[in-house]
């Protein structure tokens, strides 16, 4: 779990827990000053945590049918000073805890006050109506249901539209709910009389004609089908004394849609009902994406290498870049395999400062390195990570399986390493506590799941670690033991001897995780040994531009 500073984007706190969370609800408890996080997931408790230190303050346990909690809702009953936690397990046991404010992790286990088995498996969300606190909306993938909060009897139920699955929902008022589906649509329903606490027929038998009525659909016409379910959320905002609810949606294509939830009167709903019209359909009020925002800019932002292109030339995509602070130069790898080096300060002037210099056709001067056949995937200037490397060296990795060593000053290709059988995905620097021979190497990772140590001095491959069955996702070091530790996507960890290239052992499961974590602790003691290429620990070395 991590907490983030939204101003500068830094991670302020991070912890590793044995539990996997699937849902977190922030709630301000009655008898404390700070907000608390109520977490549930693939474990049988509800964990209550401090949002700043990420410390577990106390846990809510189950005595009856303990099982994973699939959804929860925390509320404060009106005219009371305690808090109530409602939760439902994956197998459909509803539980209620009452919190009086003196709970802590040293007290006795806090068990539920009440529990009841209902017919509801794998609930996704659970919401209590804030207006009356008498009705509860539970959403499952195939149906949603309204329950009486008093005795948890089901009052009404609606199946999901054909070909769609429900993803969540909430109350709009005590007689209306909004649901959203994995197709990215919002559905507004009016509840029947037996599900509205203010109605005389509340909790009565459901009448055939009086069932939940769909009166409005929030959708986007003409859009292509979504490749995976979007994320959606209902938010309430207050503007000049007026309350407006919005349905937000973000999808995997980078688009954000916002619908202002309409306040349709009872007369209009009755009219739709009596005339048997189709439910009203509403387009999103805002639909935008970063791509659209860039394209709408006038004039368009200047590209880093725009001065190289004539008007008729097609643009070549930029695929990798690094900034060299000592030389104030920017190195850019492109899709066609070329590497361009431009003076950084002048390029930034071209971007940010308007003036005569923008009319110059031959400016700024640049250098072109040609050696790759196909996209340049990654670039590394080893001397940025440690002074033991030559300042003139630049290393590049491409889609052509090759790692190239360049002389930055002359622009010559010094050596081409061809030891991988897949495109190069990552270039790293070993930590400064390795053996003298390894200190002259750089580490490269490729898509054929192989890892190599390439000596820039000897111009040859020192170690080839290539028996990994799954993609490599992390590289760790134990320099004092002469170990290179490779973590793969299936959770397996391979331990290689750097000098000899022998596979020392293969680890799985918890042991594999512990070895990776031990490497992090080790690197913390010996200084930065992660092989980061960023100067002075900056997240983005381009910050030097603005300095």
Q: Could you report the average pLDDT of every consecutive run of 10 residues in the chain (547 residues)?
A: 90 89 93 90 95 93 95 91 94 94 86 94 95 94 95 94 96 96 96 91 79 94 87 92 93 94 91 86 92 84 73 82 89 94 81 66 77 95 92 95 94 95 95 92 96 95 93 92 93 94 92 85 50 42 50
How many CB atoms within 10 Å of residue 36? 20
Q: Does domain 2-225 have CATH number 2.130.10.10?
A: yes
Of all residues in the chain, what percent are helix, strand and coil, respectively (each to 5)? 15, 40, 45
pLDDT of residue 522: 62
Give yes or no for a contact between 378 and 396, defined as CB atoms under 8 angstroms apart: yes
How many CB atoms within 10 Å of residue 96? 15
Q: How far apart are CA 396 and CA 9, in angstroms?
A: 29
- Cis ω on the peptide bond leading into residue 364 (within 30° of 0)? yes
Q: Give the bridge partners for 257, in sequence order.
A: 249, 287
Q: Which CATH architecture has domain 297-463?
A: 7 Propeller (2.130)
Place of tokens 């959320």: 233
Beta strands in 54-203 (DSSP E): 56-61, 69-75, 83-89, 93-99, 110-111, 114-117, 125-128, 135-139, 143-148, 154-159, 166-173, 176-181, 186-190
What is the length of the chain?
547
How many CB atoms within 10 Å of residue 15? 12
Q: Give the bridge partners for 496, in sequence order.
A: 484, 503
pTM: 0.74
Positions of CATH 2.130.10.10 in the chain: 2-225, 297-463
């Amino acid at each position: 779990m991590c907490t983030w500073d939204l101003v500068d984007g830094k991670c302020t706190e991070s912890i590793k827990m044995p539990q996997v969370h699937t849902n977190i609800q922030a709630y301000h408890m009655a008898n404390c000053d700070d907000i608390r996080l109520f977490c549930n997931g693939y474990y049988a408790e509800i964990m209550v945590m401090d949002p700043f230190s990420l410390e577990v303050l106390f846990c809510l346990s189950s005595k009856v049918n303990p099982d994973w909690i699939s959804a929860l809702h925390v509320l404060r009953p009106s005219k009371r000073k305690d808090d109530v936690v409602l939760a439902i397990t994956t197998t459909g046991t509803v539980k209620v805890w009452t919190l009086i404010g003196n709970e802590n992790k040293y007290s006795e286990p806090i068990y539920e006050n009440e529990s009841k088995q209902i017919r509801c498996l794998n609930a996704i969300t659970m919401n209590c109506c804030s207006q009356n606190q008498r009705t509860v909306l539970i959403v499952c993938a195939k149906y949603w249901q309204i329950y009486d909060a008093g005795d948890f009897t089901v009052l009404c139920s609606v199946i999901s539209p054909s070909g769609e699955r429900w993803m969540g929902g909430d109350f709009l008022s005590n007689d209306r709910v909004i649901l959203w589906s994995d197709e990215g649509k919002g559905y507004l329903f009016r509840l029947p009389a037996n599900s509205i606490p203010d109605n005389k027929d509340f909790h009565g038998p459901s009448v055939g004609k009086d069932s939940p009525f769909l009166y409005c659909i929030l959708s986007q016409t003409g859009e292509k089908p979504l490749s995976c379910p979007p994320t959606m959320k209902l938010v309430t905002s207050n503007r000049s004394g007026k309350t407006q609810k919005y349905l937000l949606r973000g999808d995997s294509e980078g688009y954000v849609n916002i619908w202002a939830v309409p306040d349709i009167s009872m007369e209009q709903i009755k009219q739709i009902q009596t005339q048997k019209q189709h439910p009203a359909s509403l387009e999103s009020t805002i639909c935008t994406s970063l791509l659209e925002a860039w394209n709408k800019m006038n004039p368009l932002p200047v590209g880093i290498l725009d001065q190289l292109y004539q008007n008729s030339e097609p643009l070549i995509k930029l695929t990798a870049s690094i900034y060299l602070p000592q030389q104030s130069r920017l190195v850019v790898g492109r899709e066609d395999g070329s590497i361009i080096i431009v003076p950084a300060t002048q390029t930034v002037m071209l971007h940010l400062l308007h003036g005569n210099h923008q009319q110059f056709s031959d400016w700024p001067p640049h250098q072109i390195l040609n050696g790759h056949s196909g996209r340049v995937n990654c670039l590394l200037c080893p001397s940025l990570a440690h002074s033991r490397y030559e300042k003139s060296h630049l290393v590049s990795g491409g889609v052509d399986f090759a790692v190239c060593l360049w002389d930055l000053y002359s622009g010559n290709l010094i050596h081409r390493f061809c030891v991988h059988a897949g495109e190069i995905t990552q270039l790293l620097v070993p930590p400064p506590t390795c053996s003298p021979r390894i200190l002259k190497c750089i580490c490269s990772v490729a898509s054929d799941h192989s890892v190599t140590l390439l000596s820039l001095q000897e111009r040859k491959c020192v170690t080839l670690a290539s028996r990994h069955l799954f993609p490599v996702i992390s590289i760790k070091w134990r320099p004092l033991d002469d170990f290179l530790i490779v973590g793969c996507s299936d959770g397996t960890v391979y331990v290689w001897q750097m000098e000899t290239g022998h596979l020392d052992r293969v680890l799985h499961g918890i042991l594999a995780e512990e070895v990776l974590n031990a490497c992090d602790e080790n690197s913390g003691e010996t200084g930065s040994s992660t092989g980061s290429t960023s100067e002075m620990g900056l997240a983005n070395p381009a910050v030097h531009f603005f300095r």
